[in-house]
Amino acid sequence: MQVIIFPCMEKLTDYVIEKWLVLSEKAIEKNGRFVVALSGGKTPEKLHMALAQKKDLFDWGRTHIFLADERFVPHADPDSNYRMIRETLLDHLGIPKENVHSVPILESGVKASAKKYEESLVEFFSPSINNFPAFDLIILGIGTDGHAASLFPGSPVLNEKNRIACDVVLGKKMHDRITLTLPVINNAKNVIFIAIGENKAGIAKEILKGRNPKLPASLVEPENGELLLLADRDAGSLITTAC
Ligand code: 6PG
């Protein structure tokens, strides 16, 4: 995993914007589209707002946005990842609505919602590369417990080898979730972890020590893709070149 530590969030977002531009132009030239999966939580908000400010740089007509994970709440719920991504990014882009692939939140429950999302992924990516969707870019945050997307420590979903998206039952406080699985994340051409703030310094250092089944983020190792950890000075404060 390549690690880049930035003096501040603004420099980090400038880097991601440049990376997004290069990757999107390459993907659109090669495949006619650029397909990204975004995460929820707080970390990506400033990045989304910076992307929205520079929206004219990008071809949103040929960019498709999926979610790496979602809470099983209505899209209008304050805890919805889709709502955060819509408010900080999508509402400002003029992106065609058919290019935005939110996670269906069905009355029939989280299992059925995960299945429906999985079906939408299969349809969009068919024919797929080695049976899994191959995102051009997946942007992930890191939980202080080492989770990424909604792949939490000890979750049976970590052992999923066949499914593309799964339901994760976490109960009321954390909300049940729908998440991309590790085979999909590890089939991506580019995965970028973003870690901001002192509270992520410990976990950022830990995941650099190599695969640890207790830390799902350390299991992200794109088989044929690039993996980056981008951190601000605080989140990178415990990382030494020796890692
Ligand atoms: C979610 C996210 C989750 C997030 C981490 C980090 O649904 O909450 O997808 O995986 O990336 O929990 O969250 P923060 O960015 O808020 O620290």
**Closest to 66 (Cα-Cα) out of 81, 52, 54:** 81
Does residue 152 have a pLDDT over 50? yes
Residue nearest to atom 15 of ligand 1 (CA): 43
How many angstroms is it from 106 CA to the middle of ligand 1?
22
Q: Quick one: pLDDT at residue 243?
A: 44
C-alpha of residue 32 to centroid of ligand 1, in Å: 30
- pLDDT of 33 higher than 70: yes
Q: What is the DSSP letter of 62?
A: G
Reading the block at residue 80, the tokens are 């919805």
Q: Give yes or no for residue 40 CB within 6 A of ligand 1.
A: yes
Tokens of 220: 């992200």
146 Cα: distance to centroid of ligand 1 (angstroms) = 10
* pLDDT at 173 (0 to 100): 81
Kindly tell me if the per-residue pLDDT of 130 is higher than 90.
Answer: no
Q: State the distance from the centre of ligand 1 to the C-alpha of 70, rounded, in angstroms.
A: 10
Task: Give the pLDDT of residue 129.
Answer: 61
| Model confidence at 242: pLDDT above 70 | no
Give the pLDDT confidence of 57-116 residue by residue, as tens digits.
999 999 999 999 999 999 999 999 999 999 999 999 999 999 999 999 999 999 999 999
Q: Which two tokens stand for residue 69?
A: 């994970």
Over residues 217-237, the pLDDT tens digits come to 999 999 999 999 999 999 999
> Per residue in 161-192, pLDDT tens?
999 999 999 877 889 999 999 999 999 999 99
From the CB of 80, is ligand 1 less than 6 Å away? Answer: no
CA angle 47, 71, 65 (to 5 degrees): 45
On average, the pLDDT of the chain sits at 95
Please tell me the distance from the alpha carbon of residue 31 to that of residue 93, in angstroms, as a whole number.
22
pLDDT digits (tens, 9 = 90+) for 134-145: 999 999 999 999
User: In this model, does residue 117 exceed pLDDT 50?
Assistant: yes
240: confidence class by pLDDT, cuts 50, 70, 90: confident
pLDDT at residue 23 above 70?
yes
pLDDT of amino acid 128: 67
Ligand 1, atom 2: closest residue by C-alpha: 40
**Per-residue confidence at 126, pLDDT binned at 50, 70, 90?**
confident
pLDDT for position 102: 98
With a 6 Å cutoff on the Cβ, whether 174 touches ligand 1 is no
Q: How far is the CA of 29 from the centre of ligand 1 (A)?
A: 32
